[in-house]
Copies of this chain bind each other. A is one copy, B any other.
Amino acid sequence: MTLDLEAIYIDLHRNPELSFQETRTAGVIAAHLTALGIEHETGIGKTGIAAVIRNGDGPVVWLRADMDALPVKEETGLDYASTARGIDPEGTDVPVMHACGHDMHVTAMLGALEQLQATTDKWSGTIVAVFQPAEEYGSGAQAMIADDVLTRFPKPTIVLGQHLAPLPAGTIGVRSGAQMAASDGLHVVLHGRGGHGSRPDTTIDPVVMAAATVMRLQTIVSRETDPREMAVVTVGSMHAGLKNNIIPATATIDISLRYPNDTARQGVMNKVEHIIKAEALASGATEEPTIEILHTLPPTINDLEATDRLIFAWETAFGEDAVLDPGMFTGSEDVSWLATEAGVPLVYWFWGGVEPEAFAAAMAAGTAEADIPSNHSPFFAPILHPTIERGVDALVIAAREFLN
């Protein structure tokens, strides 16, 4: 191996970048691709990269890794913990952290490309590796598609991708069919009327409007969803005011919605809009709230046949215990756009990064939620080994499976 994957990972982890700002990350990736002699183009969909390894006739397998980090303040206490900061789309200076493992995704992809490049005798066809920006905004895949990634490069016969998850290191989690939820991100502005904190009666208080709205939004899941169906309504962000004694004119809330399919989506979207407007009415607002859809993520549906093939291949390589059904994830992804736009199958899987004994102990103690930091947590910290190796191998085996 030429690449020092551990060093690459630690460097990426220390230097996280927010969505569509992955310029340093893309520079690092391009440098390694160049060093490996792999053909690639940069700047696709703003900061994305596509790399190609051509190896005779055969299928075209697309492998996808996402690159962006999150506005989270790292609290892992690791030597290589991030202290980076960035400017978010609203111009606010925020801490930045790879709290979702995309640094590991990039690292494993680079490792896999090196191996695939070195073992062209074992497969034939074409590999396209996509380093995608802005998965966290749900818009990076579409940005690359809008920038013609599907026509500028060999069209896929299948799209593959993987994501780090709070599973035991060494394991792969995958299931046929519905693997991840559909999702929308909403940005809502509630319009009140500002004034002095001592005279609430001269104002329309947007803080109370926001609070009542958040409480009411809970009822969509608790009362208006079939208890057997999955739905999530999360208000991830709520902002209003600058000072305790000034009632501000507006409040903003950012909502993340999850559902298993498009029918459920329509129902929940209607209810969210309905509640937001009614609660503004209850506050006596004279202006309707502004509701903006920031992004729409499709459900991630794994192709049945292709998934079964991969499960068999991985079980053969890693042992049967290393491949498990993680159930449907309520998280969402924009990887599907690449496959649905091209009209080809997708397989998207998870791989674990948690120290196996710690994982087992937490499960036994029933303290998994408290003790195993999930994605987006400020404590998210995959162990390096065998996480890196298993991520590389999972990709290599999967790619070859469809290139024989």
Binding site for B on A (CB under 8 A): 70-72, 88, 91-94, 99, 136, 181, 183, 185-187, 193-203, 205, 207-208, 210-216, 218-228, 230-249, 251, 254-256, 258, 271, 274-275, 277-279, 281-284, 294, 327-332, 369-370, 374-378
C-alpha gap A155/B246 in the complex (Å): 34
- How far is the CB of A177 from the nearest CB of chain B, in Å? 14
User: Which 3 pairs between the two chains have the least Cβ-Cβ distance?
Assistant: A237-B241, A278-B282, A211-B214
Query: A181 near B198 (CB under 8 angstroms)?
Result: yes
- How far is the CB of A26 from the nearest CB of chain B, in Å? 22
Please tell me how many copies of the chain the complex holds.
Answer: 4
Closest to A295 in B: B244
Q: Which of A181, A205, A215, A238 has most B Cβ within 10 Å? A: A238
Q: Given A228-B230, A246-B236: A183 and B198 within 8 A (CB)?
A: yes
Q: Given A198-B256, A200-B232: A238 and B183 within 8 A (CB)?
A: no
Closest to A246 in B: B376
Main secondary structure of the interface of A (DSSP, over half): mixed
The residue from B218, B237, B331 contacting A218, defined by CB atoms under 8 A apart: B218
Inter-chain pairs besides A207-B238, A218-B223, A222-B222, 10 sampled, C-beta below 8 Å: A72-B242, A181-B198, A196-B374, A198-B234, A198-B332, A200-B234, A201-B227, A236-B247, A241-B254, A271-B284
Query: B242 near A88 (CB under 8 angstroms)?
Result: yes
Query: B244 near A198 (CB under 8 angstroms)?
Result: no
- How far is the CB of A56 from the nearest CB of chain B, in Å? 42
C-alpha gap A193/B224 in the complex (Å): 12
Q: Which of A227, A231, A374 has most B Cβ within 10 Å? A: A227
- How far is the CB of A176 from the nearest CB of chain B, in Å? 16
A-B contact pairs, 25 of them (CB 8 A): A70-B243, A71-B246, A91-B93, A183-B245, A194-B377, A195-B376, A199-B227, A200-B227, A201-B224, A201-B225, A201-B226, A203-B223, A205-B223, A207-B214, A207-B237, A208-B214, A211-B213, A211-B214, A227-B231, A236-B246, A237-B246, A238-B240, A271-B284, A277-B281, A281-B281
